[in-house]
Structure 1
Amino acid sequence: MITLPTTFLTFLALAATLVPFIGAVVIASLPREHAKWICHGFAAVTVVIALVIAFAFGNDSHVVLIGFGDTEVLGLTLDRVSVLVALAVISIGYLVALYSIGYLNEGNREHPDIGRRRFYAFLLVFIGAMAGLVFTSTVIGQLVFFEITGACSWALIGYYETPKALRSAAKALLVTHIASIGLYVAAALLFIFTGTFAVTAIATLTASQKAIVLLAILVAAWGKSAQLPFHMWLPDAMEAPTPVSAYLHAASMVKVGVYIFARGLLSSGGAPEIVGWVGCTMAIITLVYGFVMYLPQIDMKRLLAYSTITQLATIMFGLSISVFGSDLAFKGAIAHIFNHAFGKTLFFLVAGALSYTAGTRMLPQLRGILSKKPLLGIGFACAAMAIAGVPPFSGFFSKFAIFAGGFEVGKDHWLLMVFVAIALLESVATFAWFLKWLGQCIPGKPSEAIANAAPTPFTIQVVITVLIVMSVCSSFIAAWWLG
């Protein structure tokens, strides 16, 4: 049985998924010089669709698109979590498309490029796959879009076609595909236990069945979100063009993992504590590892890669804490998905703007940014403060909710209190480390690379300005939206 959406909002959710795929087909059919404008146009239409969904959203809605009898194979779910996350992944996809118009050209001092069609086509497919994954109501739907995002990451990480880029692309594809076995297992077991693939069916399982299915989903989530033991693909993914790195690390690939885990917990009707203990333990181990790996990095993008690993560990930690009964920690984790998306995109796109204009992203060579490139200097500082969780920037408020939820449940579980203390120390240490680089890179006399920097393209300036505003405002949007 195949049916069409029965309500206006579910129709728009389907459109948000399909429009980018249609745009990719159009790009493949027309000459290269039109690709960037087609990509920008279709991404803009998708943003408008996402905004209409957000403004018109009232009550939760669900529709079955493909089903056989009582077996739901593919459907759409709109609720406060899916709409908020979809808005982030789609809007950042649009900003990355706009940024790429200025970034992918022969004036780029680090990577001169003509902006080939496949970059823009795969970027649109990525946006559509992310929208589909966020709105899908079944584990089999998650699995389909999970694999599409893997294929897109492979194509985009290897975009420059250097030997290292191609190896890194293959590594990302293989590692995340191995982790996807967890989602295959979860889909198979859910069907065996309930006769359907609907994520909401998890709530009907016994405690032991829930634990098995949710832990299988967690394995897949570790792979996409670059958590130990599947973390190794993410730093090497820096071989991608910086707009791709921004989208991979901020709003798309890495957010797949934390989102499918969040959706599983939200639909479970109460997860067994073993899921929380496993999730918390691995999150804290990943958090400490990621911070230690900050320390030797001088390549700005590799530093941000390990920062992404730790930020996702913080989200995983918040989600896992919620298993013990903290709704505040769950909302904080969802808000951090939204906040981190904008803050980390800003940081990566500032790094890309510096490499475009100065020809390097090596931190020791970047001094006096504020005096020569004030917008990039402000963007650097705002992004660092947002990621480190310094008020009034967005990361502070979502991290505060996660830590508050941790202290709330830690009263009854002393080991959780230890975990929360470690996470809090890591957050403070992250602030100290970013403060070090702020002091070295932002003020003072410009270094040779900064002094000789080329002009920053207009589209890059526009995107960075928008993201600076969002690095402050996103937390208020998320808090208001989630209640």
Structure 2
Amino acid sequence: MIDLALATILLPVLGAVLIALAPQPAAKSICRFFAGLALLSVLYLAYGFAAGGKVATERAFITLGDVEIVGFAVDTVSVLVAVAVVAIGFLVAIYSGGYFDVGNREHADIGRRRFWAFLLVFIGAMAGLVFTSTLVGQLVFFEITGACSWALIGYYEKPKALASALKALIITHIASIGLYVAASVLFLDTGTFSLSAIAQLPTGAKTVVMLAILVAAWGKSAQLPFHMWLPDAMEAPTPVSAYLHAASMVKVGVYIFARALMSSGGTPEIVGWVGTIMAVVTLVYGFVMYLPQADLKRLLAYSTITQLAYIFLGLSLSVFGSDLAFKGAIAHIFNHAFAKTLFFLIAGSLSYTAGTRMLPVLRGILAKSPVIGIGFTVAALAITGVPPFSGFFSKFAIFAGGFRVADAHPALMILVVVALLESVGSFAWFLKWVGWSVPGKPSETMAAAAPLPASMRLVLIVLIVMAVCSSFVATAWLG
């Protein structure tokens, strides 16, 4: 199992090296091929792990004396999240082959080698972060994902894009200080960097470590007060935005916090209170920022901030004893990955065909392009948690777990109710834009839209299916 995890990490990196050595025309094919190999590797890993009874395994990879520096672990959560990370990376690679074309009405770019190389490194780094079992390993892959996001956000090399890339790099790097603090305290108290050692810490040290990891998680997942880099990251090519916002960069934060909770052997309640309060504050802020947005990508950026806040909410509620909220949060990582990828790639498809993402001029999408119209509707319903779409089931688990622990902690009831009201408001706001943009006679902009390449249509169809089915996969896997 560990060997397959390592293969999933290293195959994309090998592909990136080959792209650097190969001529430009071969870069796209190499990227797709190695992303596909990584997907086959992680799917075989998932199959073998399930067939073997889902027995968790761990192996030290780099040691110094008796100190484990970097290790890797395969368990129920890491395998589920790795499948999402790698599968979406592969789908983005397929989609990008059609998106980067001279026929793209917004950005007529053929896709330079560095895009394909950094996308593969990103996939490998995310797989590494998911499978690593030490805080040092998390730090290494944390910083590699930051470097990849910097390179891809600034891909078009315009002043605003370069400034946005630097902003993302600096803010997430500042937040990473939390991981350095956590690693230092853990090592000084236990003599190891292994995440499993968190359970051995005394209460005070454990509180410091968990809060430090939470701060680092806020930075990567664009939560208040580190949120400001994410909307500006929209300067990236839309396939990059899809991967950043759905399965890679922003999922780093929620994932490292989830793994810390899994390893803590019981977390001090102060961590749960801090996490829950900040999640609800971020939810309310994100909803308010929906209202002035006319650019679909910026609207989706603030939607990402709020959806990640739901995950932090579920993880934080688990501190008070709700296993249901924890499983709901993990399922929401998986569900949101596919639904938000779909929504961003719908935005990219509109840019490709119509030359704009500005919602006020986009009307009659369904009549002009049924796949885009259906995808727009499905993505909106999945993101806002409407049954039978995927977001409903994971959100339901988070809220059900929240109401359950609120019986013993009445103050939590207020926070959970506020989050529930935000969910209703979010549904109303997205429904407004679905009603405006999808049905009816095509506007002048949509009437002049160009056809969508077959590779882009194929990926949208796969993601539409996953926006319905991912919750069943996550539920069956997590039990």
TM-score bracket relative to the smaller structure: over 0.9
Unaligned residue ranges in structure 2 (runs of 5+)? none
- Of residues 23, 30, 36, the one that matches 1:44 is 36
Q: What CA distance in whole angstroms lies between the structure 2 residues aligned with 1:106 and 1:166?
A: 23
Deviations 1:246-298 (A, max 9, x none): 00000000000000000000000110000000000110110000000000000
Give yes or no for the alignment of 1:31 onto 2:18. Answer: no
Aligned partner of 1:203 in structure 2 is 199
Aligned partner of 2:165 in structure 1 is 169
Give yes or no for the alignment of 1:334 onto 2:330. Answer: yes
Q: Which amino acid aligns with 1:278?
A: V
1:315-330 aligned at under 5 Å gives the runs 315-330=311-326
Unaligned residue ranges in structure 1 (runs of 5+)? 1-8
Q: What CA distance in whole angstroms lies between the structure 2 residues aligned with 1:366 and 1:55?
A: 43
Aligned partner of 1:452 in structure 2 is 448
1:242-281 aligned at under 5 Å gives the runs 242-281=238-277
Q: What CA distance in whole angstroms lies between the structure 1 residues aligned with 2:335 and 2:370?
A: 24
Aligned partner of 1:6 in structure 2 is none
Q: What CA distance in whole angstroms lies between the structure 1 residues aligned with 2:445 and 2:94?
A: 26
Alpha-carbon offset, residue 414 of structure 1: 1.3
Q: What CA distance in whole angstroms lies between the structure 2 residues aligned with 1:406 and 1:419?
A: 9
Deviations 1:180-202 (A, max 9, x none): 00001111111111000000000
Aligned partner of 2:219 in structure 1 is 223
- Name the SS of the counterpart of 1:67 in structure 2: strand
Q: Which amino acid aligns with 2:324?
A: L
Which has the larger displacement, 406-415 or 66-75? 66-75
Q: What CA distance in whole angstroms lies between the structure 1 residues aligned with 2:276 and 2:130?
A: 24
- Of residues 354, 363, 371, the one that matches 1:358 is 354
Q: Which amino acid aligns with 2:271?
A: V
Alpha-carbon offset, residue 71 of structure 1: 1.0
Q: What CA distance in whole angstroms lies between the structure 2 residues aligned with 1:70 and 1:51?
A: 33
- Name the SS of the counterpart of 1:19 in structure 2: helix
Q: Which amino acid aligns with 1:122?
A: F
Q: What CA distance in whole angstroms lies between the structure 2 residues aligned with 1:106 and 1:129?
A: 30
Deviations 1:286-341 (A, max 9, x none): 00000000000000000000000000000000000000000000000000000000
Q: What CA distance in whole angstroms lies between the structure 2 residues aligned with 1:402 and 1:207?
A: 26
Alpha-carbon offset, residue 116 of structure 1: 0.1
- Name the SS of the counterpart of 1:395 in structure 2: helix
Q: What CA distance in whole angstroms lies between the structure 2 residues aligned with 1:105 and 1:27?
A: 19
Give yes or no for the alignment of 1:76 onto 2:68. Answer: no
Alpha-carbon offset, residue 114 of structure 1: 1.5
Deviations 1:193-234 (A, max 9, x none): 100000000001111111100000000000000000000000
Alpha-carbon offset, residue 110 of structure 1: 0.3
Q: TM-score, normalised by structure 2?
A: 0.99
Aligned partner of 1:98 in structure 2 is 94
Aligned partner of 1:3 in structure 2 is none
Alpha-carbon offset, residue 147 of structure 1: 0.1
- Name the SS of the counterpart of 2:144 in structure 1: helix
- Name the SS of the counterpart of 1:228 in structure 2: coil
Q: Which amino acid aligns with 1:103?
A: Y
Q: What CA distance in whole angstroms lies between the structure 2 residues aligned with 1:298 and 1:462?
A: 27
Give yes or no for the alignment of 1:312 onto 2:308. Answer: yes
Q: What CA distance in whole angstroms lies between the structure 2 residues aligned with 1:105 and 1:151?
A: 26
Q: 4+ residue runs of structure 1 moved beyond 6 angstroms? A: none
- Name the SS of the counterpart of 1:324 in structure 2: coil
- Name the SS of the counterpart of 1:36 in structure 2: helix
Aligned partner of 2:421 in structure 1 is 425
Q: What CA distance in whole angstroms lies between the structure 1 residues aligned with 2:397 and 2:376?
A: 25
Q: Which amino acid aligns with 1:349?
A: L
1:105-124 aligned at under 5 Å gives the runs 105-124=101-120
1:184-203 aligned at under 5 Å gives the runs 184-203=180-199
Deviations 1:342-395 (A, max 9, x none): 000000000000110000000001100001100000000000000000000000
Give yes or no for the alignment of 1:369 onto 2:365. Answer: yes
Give yes or no for the alignment of 1:235 onto 2:227. Answer: no
Q: TM-score, normalised by structure 1?
A: 0.98
- Name the SS of the counterpart of 1:350 in structure 2: helix
Q: What CA distance in whole angstroms lies between the structure 2 residues aligned with 1:213 and 1:236?
A: 30
- Of residues 291, 308, 312, the one that matches 2:287 is 291
Q: What CA distance in whole angstroms lies between the structure 1 residues aligned with 2:110 and 2:266?
A: 51
Deviations 1:6-44 (A, max 9, x none): xxx100001111111110000000111110100000000
Q: Which amino acid aligns with 1:367?
A: R
Give yes or no for the alignment of 1:477 onto 2:469. Answer: no
Aligned partner of 1:129 in structure 2 is 125
Q: Which amino acid aligns with 1:480?
A: A
- The percentage of counterpart residues that share the same residue type is 72
Alpha-carbon offset, residue 412 of structure 1: 1.0
Q: What CA distance in whole angstroms lies between the structure 2 residues aligned with 1:194 and 1:69?
A: 14
- Name the SS of the counterpart of 1:24 in structure 2: helix
Q: What CA distance in whole angstroms lies between the structure 2 residues aligned with 1:181 and 1:209?
A: 16
Q: What CA distance in whole angstroms lies between the structure 2 residues aligned with 1:432 and 1:337?
A: 23
Alpha-carbon offset, residue 70 of structure 1: 2.4
Alpha-carbon offset, residue 68 of structure 1: 2.1
Q: What CA distance in whole angstroms lies between the structure 2 residues aligned with 1:55 and 1:366?
A: 43
Aligned partner of 1:5 in structure 2 is none
Which has the larger displacement, 401-410 or 202-211? 202-211
Q: Which amino acid aligns with 2:86?
A: I
Q: Which amino acid aligns with 1:350?
A: I
Q: What CA distance in whole angstroms lies between the structure 1 residues aligned with 2:189 and 2:243?
A: 36
Q: What CA distance in whole angstroms lies between the structure 1 residues aligned with 2:459 and 2:266?
A: 40
- Of residues 336, 343, 353, the one that matches 2:339 is 343
Alpha-carbon offset, residue 69 of structure 1: 2.9
